[in-house]
């Protein structure tokens, strides 16, 4: 079983739509949680951190459910510029590293 | 300020050859990590170095090695290249280690093995 699992998509949505991505992780001791965005042939960039209390940044809302080991990302009012791959990321518990464990990514294509 | 810089940006190698990839972290950052991203997959952790010491190693064969220099720059070396080593190799830097720091990625080195 993969440590972080995501639906690879693609998700094809019209501009203005609301889209939700889900992710599950296998290690209940995972420590930190993130969503990264990766444009085609570019490096991943941090979109937002994810907390149990939920957090919102403009049109983006992220949520963590530790009991279910489930992470979500909601994008409201989709823009063409939101088209990218969204990577779910966790970090392992403890240790002296800041290793990131990535899911395979979910491809979003926003259509005009 | 310069971000994480990697070189070369693109390269083509033949099976069995050796490759060296280079990374300069953001000024002031002491931790460098390397990731391999195969097409259609998320990045996979290869190594982390902090203060010139290896702090973490992913599930990669011994053909992969790395080091960090006194100026905190880093090299990733891959010996006896296989076709399956074709990937985007990403370098990431952060201030320190142990979690909690924001991690910044370079634009990567695209390696094609033929």
Q: Report pLDDT digits (tens) over B26-56.
A: 999 999 999 999 999 999 999 999 999 999 9
- For A38, the closest chain B residue by CA position comes to B42
Indicate the DSSP class of residue B99: S
Spans in chain A with pLDDT lower than 70: 94-96
* Whole-angstrom distance, CA of residue A8 vs CA of residue A20: 13
pLDDT over threshold 70, residue B87? yes
Q: Is any Cβ of chain A less than 8 angstroms from the Cβ of B94?
A: yes
* Whole-angstrom distance, CA of residue B5 vs CA of residue B104: 11
Cβ pair B105:A102 closer than 8 A: no
pLDDT on residue B98: 62
Q: Which residues of B touch A31 (CB under 8 A)?
A: 99
Rounded mean pLDDT, B79-102: 89
* Whole-angstrom distance, CA of residue B47 vs CA of residue B59: 9
Closest CA to B101 of B49, B31, B44: B31
**Min Cα–Cα distance to chain A from B61, Å:** 18
């Amino acid at each position: 079983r993969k440590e972080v699992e995501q639906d690879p998509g693609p998700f094809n949505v019209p501009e203005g739509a609301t889209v939700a991505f889900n992710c599950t992780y296998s290690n209940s001791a995972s420590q930190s949680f993130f969503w990264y965005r990766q444009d085609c042939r570019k490096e991943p960039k941090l979109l937002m951190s994810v907390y149990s209390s939920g957090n919102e940044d403009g049109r983006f809302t992220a949520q963590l459910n530790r009991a279910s080991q489930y992470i979500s990302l909601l994008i409201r009012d989709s823009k063409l510029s939101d088209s990218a791959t969204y990577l779910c990321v966790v970090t392992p518990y403890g240790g002296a590293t800041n290793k990131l464990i990535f899911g395979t990514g979910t491809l979003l294509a926003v259509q005009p | 300020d310069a971000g994480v810089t990697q070189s070369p940006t693109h390269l083509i190698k033949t099976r069995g050859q050796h490759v060296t990839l280079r990374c300069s972290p953001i000024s002031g950052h002491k931790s460098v990590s390397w990731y391999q991203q195969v097409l259609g997959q998320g990045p996979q952790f290869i190594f982390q170095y902090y203060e010139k010491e290896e702090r973490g190693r992913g599930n990669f064969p011994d053909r992969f090695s790395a080091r960090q220099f006194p100026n905190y720059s880093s090299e990733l070396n891959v010996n006896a290249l296989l076709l399956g080593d074709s990937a985007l190799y990403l370098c990431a830097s952060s201030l320190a280690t142990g979690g909690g720091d924001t991690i910044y990625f370079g634009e990567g080195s695209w390696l094609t093995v033929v």
